């Protein structure tokens, strides 16, 4: 079985391999390490990688696509709200504990939910960044809300943070963990021990949040 992977070089002394939630493989390697040495390392890890990829595939198969019908449940900030399709000419709203959507918009309900979630996540990220950047003693960075597939967030080389619109379905503590994870990447680019120590300094219970995502991440889809 051919193993495709992306190489990310940095000022590190050893090789690290990460299997992302979308099944992509990222190899973090030292700047001066030869490509054939990286390939040998990946080959040695092939059984471990195949096992991880099989787990990722099983995870993806658990995702249940929404039908956008009355009575169906949708998450927002960790709470479940049922959807009611109504006859009124109204876009998606959260009213009195229910998501309501006009029947004429039902065929594009997926788009309405994505837009609603993105708008509300943008406001929530702004609010949380003001608090979390102070804890990390860094300036508030630029950020974007976008479709990231199976990734919750990312950090560009230019220092722009990207957040998956789906994370607004998670509890606020989990959202904070995702934000901090990307904020720390502004200072430490690799998932080293130092990286996780910095995350833990700001989110002491980050392992609990990380486990929540692992156990419940498949529910943050529509």
Lowest mean pLDDT among 38-52, 109-123, 159-173: 38-52
Q: Angle at which helices 109-136 and 172-185 pack, to 10 degrees? A: 60
**204: its two tokens:** 């002491």
Where does the pLDDT of residue 45 fall: very low under 50, low under 70, confident under 90, or very high at 90 and above?
A: confident
Where does the pLDDT of residue 180 fall: very low under 50, low under 70, confident under 90, or very high at 90 and above?
A: very high
Domains defined for the chain, CATH in brackets: 6-61 (no CATH), 108-219 (3.30.2010.10)
| pLDDT attached to residue 186 | 94
Contact status, residue 10 vs residue 190, Cβ threshold 8 Å: yes
To the nearest 10°, the Cα dihedral for 121, 97, 149, 170? 70
User: Is pLDDT at 1 greater than 60 in this prediction?
Assistant: no
73 closest CA partner among 198, 190, 173, 221: 221
What's the pTM value of the predicted model, to 2 decimals?
0.78
Lowest mean pLDDT among 32-41, 128-137, 174-183: 32-41
Q: How many CB atoms lie within 10 A of CB 48?
A: 11
Contact status, residue 83 vs residue 101, Cβ threshold 8 Å: yes
| pLDDT attached to residue 6 | 84
| pLDDT attached to residue 208 | 97
């Amino acid at each position: 079985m051919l193993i495709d992977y992306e190489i990310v070089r940095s000022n590190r002394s050893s090789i690290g391999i990460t299997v992302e939630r979308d099944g992509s493989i990222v190899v973090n390697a030292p700047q001066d390490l030869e490509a054939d040495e990286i390939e040998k390392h990946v080959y040695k890890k092939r059984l471990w990688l195949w096992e991880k990829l099989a787990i990722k595939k099983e995870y993806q198969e658990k995702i249940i696509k929404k039908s956008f019908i009355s009575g169906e449940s949708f998450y927002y900030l960790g709470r479940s709200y049922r959807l009611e399709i109504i006859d009124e000419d109204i876009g998606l709203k959260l009213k009195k504990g229910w998501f309501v959507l006009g029947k004429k918009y039902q065929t594009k309900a997926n788009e309405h939910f994505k837009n609603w979630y993105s708008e509300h996540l943008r406001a929530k990220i702004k609010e949380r960044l003001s608090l979390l950047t102070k804890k990390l003693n860094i300036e508030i960075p630029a950020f974007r809300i976008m479709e990231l597939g199976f990734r919750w967030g990312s950090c560009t080389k230019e220092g722009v943070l990207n957040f998956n619109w789906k994370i607004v379905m998670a509890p606020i503590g989990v959202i904070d963990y995702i934000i901090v994870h990307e904020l720390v990447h502004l200072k430490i680019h690799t998932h080293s021990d130092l990286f996780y120590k910095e995350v833990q300094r700001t989110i002491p219970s980050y392992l609990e949040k990380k486990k929540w995502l692992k156990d419940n991440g498949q529910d943050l889809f529509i």
